[in-house]
């Protein structure tokens, strides 16, 4: 019987030959007995000769099939990578996991509470500025505690620790803050508080900056990243060898590579994730547009994320 597929994978240059002068019976049970007679029966049934693959095309197709199978095979994290993720998650849980619920301790204006009715007029700006200053200071302090809880970070010279923190603190804050972004309302929901783009404009941020910021958070949030992916992104931002003042660039570059490979392995191990959901694109967009050329699209970190 004829096979379901009509494209025959035989070489054009050599081609199969029948030792019995083309007299073989081609049936469902005997169809593999003589490739030459099987091919001739396909041609007699109307298969076009130009559908026969050359040896090169056949090799290319098999290579693509092998690559596809490899991509579909779940990647197992090494013991070192699993330990790295546990360390990062532990530090994150202790210092950054609940910090957004604590914003309510820093004298928030009444209109920030979710249950509060919108005001007919703008709220006084000074209390809102003070609140923003307090929570930003608090977030940076929690980021510092997070980094100091990482043995690999503490092993670096103190000068490099300071340089890395200066460059990465704001980035890490926004990576972690993304977990509070609500796609439905386009607001940040931090415990009982709600922060809108209008709040940012009210305290003096440029609308263009805010629109880019909220677009970044919306794009990143749509990826539905898991907690390990967030902390690995934060670690990649932290261990950036391109920061001004860094002395141990090779060592820090190696650390960032380790974080990137762990993130890559973790993503590949998530079979439920669609192929187009990779954390690289929005992060590169954000870093290149807003955080300066040192971590922009041409940097080592951006290359790894791609």
Average confidence (pLDDT) over 273-292: 45
The mean pLDDT of 194-223, rounded to a whole number, is 93
Q: Are 132 and 203 in contact (CB under 8 A)?
A: yes
Question: What does each C-alpha distance from 271 to 5, 25, 197, 252 come to in angstroms?
Answer: 29, 45, 35, 31
With H, G, I as helix, E, B as strand and everything else as coil, classify residue 105: helix
**In 3D, which of 153, 149, 168 has the Cα closest to residue 248?**
153
Look at residue 89 in the predicted model and tell me its pLDDT: 96
Same domain, 175 and 121: yes
Does 93 lie in the same domain as 24? no
Q: How far, in Å, CA of 34 to CA of 18, rounded?
A: 7
> Is 48 within the bounds of a domain?
yes
Query: 160 with 242, same domain?
Result: yes
- Residue range 221-242: average pLDDT? 93
Are 92 and 143 spatial neighbours (Cβ–Cβ below 8 Å)?
no
Instruction: Supply the CATH number for residue 12's domain.
Output: 3.30.50.10
285 within a domain of the structure (yes/no): no
Model's pTM, two decimal places?
Answer: 0.69
Which residue, 49, 71, 93, sits at the end of a domain? Answer: 71
CA angle 141, 290, 153 (to 5 degrees): 40
Instruction: Report which of residues 189 and 16 the model is more confident about.
Output: 189
CATH code at position 193: 1.10.565.10
pLDDT tens track for 25-64: 777 666 666 777 877 778 777 777 777 777 787 778 888 8
Each residue of 131-153: pLDDT tens digit? 999 999 999 999 999 999 999 99
List all residues 6 or more positions away from 148 whose beta carbon is below 8 Å from its beta carbon. 154
């Amino acid at each position: 019987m004829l096979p379901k597929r009509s494209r025959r994978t035989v070489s054009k240059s050599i081609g199969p030959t029948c030792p019995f002068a083309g007299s073989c019976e081609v049936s469902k049970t005997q169809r593999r007995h003589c490739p030459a007679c099987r091919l001739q029966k396909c041609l007699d049934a109307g298969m076009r000769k130009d559908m026969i693959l050359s040896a090169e095309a056949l090799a290319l197709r098999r290579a693509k099939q092998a690559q596809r199978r490899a991509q579909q095979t779940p990647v197992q994290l090494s013991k070192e990578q699993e330990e790295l993720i546990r360390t990062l998650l532990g530090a994150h849980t202790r210092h950054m996991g609940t910090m957004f619920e604590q914003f309510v301790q820093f004298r928030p204006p009444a209109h920030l509470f979710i249950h509060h009715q919108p005001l007919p007029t703008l709220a006084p700006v000074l209390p809102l500025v003070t609140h923003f200053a307090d929570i930003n200071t608090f977030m940076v302090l929690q980021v510092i505690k997070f980094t100091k809880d990482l043995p690999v970070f503490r092993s670096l010279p103190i000068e490099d620790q300071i340089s890395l923190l200066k460059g990465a603190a704001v980035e890490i804050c926004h990576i972690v803050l993304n977990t509070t972004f609500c796609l439905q309302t386009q607001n940040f929901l931090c415990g009982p508080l709600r922060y809108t783009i209008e709040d940012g404009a009210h305290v003096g941020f440029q609308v263009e900056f805010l629109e880019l910021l909220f677009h970044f958070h919306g794009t990143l949030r749509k990826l539905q990243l898991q907690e390990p992916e967030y902390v690995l992104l934060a670690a990649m931002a932290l261990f950036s060898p391109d920061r001004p003042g860094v002395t141990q660039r090779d060592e820090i570059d190696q650390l960032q590579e380790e974080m990137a490979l762990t993130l890559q392995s973790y993503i590949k191990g998530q079979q439920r994730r669609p192929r187009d959901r990779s954390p690289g694109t929005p992060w590169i967009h954000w870093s290149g547009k807003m955080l300066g050329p040192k971590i922009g699209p041409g940097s080592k970190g951006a290359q790894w994320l791609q």
